[in-house]
Amino acid sequence: MKIGSLLASGRRTFSFEFYPPKKEEDIPALKSAIAELRGLGPDFVSITLSQKYLPDWNFASISNTLALSGVLKHEFSLEVMAHLTTSIIRDRRTLAETLKLVKILGLENVLALRGDLDPERVEERAFAYASDLVPAVKSGGDFCVGVAAYPEKHPEAPSLAEDVRRLKQKLDAGGEFAITQVFFDNSAFFRFRDAAAAAGIGAPVIPGLMPLTSLRQRDNFVSGQGIAVPPALSAGLEKYAGDKEALFSFGLDYASAQAEELLAAGAPGLHFYTFNRSRATREVFRRVGPSGVRRLV
């Protein structure tokens, strides 16, 4: 099923993002997260593509993403979107071969990205930006293509307006929907949504959510990425820093309130960054209203 068709039918999608395990020891936790989150009936799951862990072995990165995508599609009967990045898929031949495998696996959805660049490795890429990859994926098969969006602007973009223009370029090139970078301040999402609408963007923009449940996550993941952590969230994380369960619960309350407000304001769905764990996402679902998961669809 194409995600674009689901969204066009007016369905609010909820989805989970996983990454291929870095080490063999990571596999059991991932398997149990998948099994538990599958029970929530997501509309789709997405699988990242990263070279962080295999710097000189790009084909292995692609294989890992596609292998996990195939397992989730066929063993767990989930709708899967594979992430493809220009930072790893650097030439047309690799793209053609990758898309051949995507087709063989029966995947219909692709998230087309530039990918994170390693500043120490300046390399030739056939596709400079995601907007170059989108049409190449579209012409390689009958795929539904999604793209990334940044409510607080992409860190390299000179301004939000310029970044929104670049987002429109990706959508005009064939992107059917966007999923956002994580954010913790809904007003940033609403401002961005208004800017996107004013720029003529009509495609659904799905907010990306990540429950912050530790100070380490805040410090490691968020700092340096231009993602604002509102003072109330930071203060709460610090207040409960000495009590793991209280901190976890505070983070979930915060994320649940964010989810409630986004849905009430008409967000077309929610995309959860799971970090290959299920508990935080499951808890947010439990807390979002008395009727739980079904209220989200």
Q: Which stretch binds ligand FAD (CB under 6 A): 7-15, 173-181, 215-223, 276-284?
A: 173-181
Based on the shown chain and the rule CB under 6 A, indicate whether residue 206 belongs to the binding site for ligand FAD. no
Place of tokens 């087709």: 103
Q: How far apart are CB 166 and ligand FAD at their closest, in Å?
A: 4
Name the residue among 146, 150, 172 with its Cα closest to residue 162: 150
Place of tokens 């499951």: 282
Question: Considering only residues 241-280, where is the footprint of ligand FAD by CB under 6 A?
Answer: none
Specify the residue, 208 or 251, whose C-beta has the smaller distance to ligand FAD: 208
156 as an active site residue: the answer is no
DSSP string covering 206-274, please?
Answer: EEEE-----HHHIIIIITTTT----HHHHHHHHHTTT-HHHHHHHHHHHHHHHHHHHHHTT-SEEEEE-
Specify the residue, 170 or 236, whose C-beta has the smaller distance to ligand FAD: 170
DSSP string covering 128-161, please?
Answer: -SHHHHHHHHHHTSS-EEEEEE-TT--TT-S-HH
Q: Left (φ > 0), alpha (ψ -120 to 50) or beta: where does 10 sit?
A: left
Among 33, 68, 98, 114, binds ligand FAD (CB under 6 A): 114
Angle CA 157–158–164, to nearest 5? 60
Q: How far apart are CB 55 and ligand FAD at their closest, in Å?
A: 13
Based on the shown chain and the rule CB under 6 A, indicate whether residue 156 belongs to the binding site for ligand FAD. yes
Residue 17 · residue 273 · CB < 8 Å: yes
Which pair of tokens denotes residue 172?
Answer: 């005009």
User: What is the contact mask toward ligand FAD in residues 69 to 98, using x (rule: CB under 6 A)?
Assistant: --------------x-x-x-----------
Specify the residue, 78 or 112, whose C-beta has the smaller distance to ligand FAD: 112
Based on the shown chain and the rule CB under 6 A, indicate whether residue 179 belongs to the binding site for ligand FAD. yes
Among 12, 138, 170, 218, binds ligand FAD (CB under 6 A): 170
What residues act catalytically? 17
Residues lying near ligand FAD in the complex (CB under 6 A): 48-50, 83, 85, 87, 111, 113-116, 129-131, 148, 154, 156-157, 163, 166, 170, 179-181, 208
